[in-house]
Amino acid sequence: MFVQILLRPAAIDWRHNADVLIGKPVAIVALVLLAMVIRWVLGKLVDRLVRHAEDGVLPDRFTTAHSTRRVQRAKTMGDLLKSIIGGLLVAIFGTMILSELGLNIAPIIASAGIVGIALGFGAQSLVKDFLSGIFMIFEDQYGVGDVVDVGVASGTIEAVSLRVTRLRDQSGTVWYVPNGEILRVGNMSQNWARAVVDVSIGYGEDLARVQRVLKSVAHDIWEDDDYRDIVIEEPEVTGVEQMTPDAITVRVLIKTAPMQQWAVARELRQRIKARFDHEGIAMPFTQKVLFPAPPYAGATPPTTDPAAHDSAKAANE
């Protein structure tokens, strides 16, 4: 019995040493391996999302440099997601490893909560800008080179960060817009665009003939080799769009590559003007009818009072 009492503390010390030398290192290694496995699995999922984002929604006929920019945006989105995943895993498993080492993690968690509350109240706009920037990049709302309308400004995107978006308008002014202030985004250069051309003709023209001529001109652009990689689909003449006292408006729609709708619209107008001149189709023009002003308009009419006439004559003399 006495020998057992003497040996019991030694057994307890041996178990404690074994737990410190073997148990805790094994647990830490297991946590590190688990974090690496989770990081690898989530990384594969992110890579799959990036490959899906790199695939365009345009037909095979459309091949331009915009696909390269789409791939770059997708890779940027993937790198951002991987960075966020890595930071979360380091924070979670780092805290678990500290707990395995015997450190009290309650103050760390409490401090993190206090810091989070302080950031939430003291830097609300900054946090809002960062969160909005993350979702904008993740959802691929716009990228460098896109022409967008963000409400407060519109122009070409020059730089996109997590906090602010920089764009330049048509007059050359550079706008810095915080991402948290952007409530809506109108992207005029994403995936595809459409050139809308309204042609005005006089009431004396044959509408059926005018539409045949417009379809012919639009079809010539569709078959033009210079526009093969710009015009995506067969142009469409929708018909009469408006009837005003001055003219009848016929609309032509052409689906184009991003940011090419303006150049295609200018070329189409030029060809329509030349074809109309060749076909003898008259464009409407405003006519003005001038009416002569009535006598003594804006002046004092002559009086028939003899006394007033004599006084005026005396004043002249």
Three-state DSSP at 292 gives coil
155: left (phi over 0), alpha (psi -120 to 50) or beta: left
Percent of the chain with pLDDT over 70: 70
Q: Tokens in use for 315?
A: 């004043």
pLDDT in tens, 90-141: 888 888 877 777 777 777 777 766 666 666 665 677 778 888 887 887 777 8
pLDDT in tens, 131-168: 888 788 777 788 778 888 988 888 888 888 778 889 99
- Calculate mean pLDDT across residues 39-56: 78
pLDDT of residue 62: 46
- Calculate mean pLDDT across residues 73-84: 73
Band of residue 302 on the pLDDT scale cut at 50, 70, 90: low
Domains of the chain, first to last: 2-122 (1.10.287), 147-187 (2.30.30.60), 193-279 (3.30.70.100)
Pairing of strands 186-187, 147-149: antiparallel
Place of tokens 């004559």: 313
Band of residue 287 on the pLDDT scale cut at 50, 70, 90: low
Tell me if 61 sits within 8 A of 232, measured CB to CB.
Answer: yes
Which comes out higher in pLDDT, residue 117 or 281?
281
Band of residue 267 on the pLDDT scale cut at 50, 70, 90: very high
Sheet-wide strand order for 164-168: 174-178, 164-168, 154-160, 147-149, 186-187
pTM of the model: 0.55
Q: Tokens in use for 175?
A: 């706008």
Residues 6 or more apart whose CB falls under 8 angstroms from that of 301 comprise: none
Q: Indicate the residue type of 99.
A: S
Which comes out higher in pLDDT, residue 135 or 238?
238
pLDDT at 82 over 90: no
pLDDT of residue 188: 84
CA distances from 273 to 116, 217, 263, 307 (A): 65, 10, 16, 68
